[in-house]
Amino acid sequence: MTDSNPSLLGRISLAFGTFFAIIGNAQLAAGIRRLRAGEAEPKPTAAAAPEPAAAPVSALRQTSPESALQLLGLLQREARLVDFVEEDITAYSDADIGAAARLVHEGCRKTLREHFSLQPVRAENEGDRITLAAGFDAAAIRLSGNVVGQPPFSGQLTHRGWRVSETRLPSLSDSHDPAIIAPAEVEL
């Protein structure tokens, strides 16, 4: 295998990945420090237990905006969400804003229920005390407050979280422009 020189963007990507890998893995950081100092890698001793393999660093991937634009279009069609958010509401009374918010809420809820199946991430009730064992899914559970030490962590569930179990977005034709979330309207 030939060792080709990576491009500038490849080196930047490698630098960011290495940066986060070093932050998360003290053994890797020590090895890189030794390598930069020109020292040899220490030989493992027979008495030393093998270190568990470090979790691979997740690579960032580019996503397509079409699904997000499609959802925004559905929320605009059913709930007039963009109209509501873009409206300057400073001149309206709280009662008027509340009445408009009720309509927007109903439309948003209808859209979410029509196009997504949602389940809570945690089954416990909000306010319950829970314990998170080592290896909990950090993508599904966000810790807040005084986070110190290693799991298990015990705390109060302040939000159950949401997980989408099924998505039912309509298919798009090739001629559809998803960036048009609401066409202009002209009355004749």
Q: What is the pLDDT of residues 60-99, one digit of tens each?
A: 888 788 889 999 999 999 999 999 999 999 999 999 999 9
Residue 168 makes CB contacts below 8 A (sequence gap 6+) with 114, 115, 116, 117
Average pLDDT, the chain: 84
Is there a domain that residue 61 lies in?
no
Q: What is the pLDDT of residues 138-177, one digit of tens each?
A: 999 999 998 888 999 999 999 999 999 999 998 888 898 9
Q: Both 21 and 77 in a single domain?
A: no
Is there a domain that residue 125 lies in?
yes
Q: What is the DSSP letter of 65?
A: S
The residue segments making up the domain with residue 72 are: 66-140+149-167
Q: How far apart are CA 43 and CA 140, in angstroms?
A: 39
Q: Specify the pLDDT at position 130.
A: 95
E strand spans, the chain: 116-120, 129-132, 153-156, 162-167
Is there a domain that residue 184 lies in?
no
- How many domains would you assign to the chain? 2
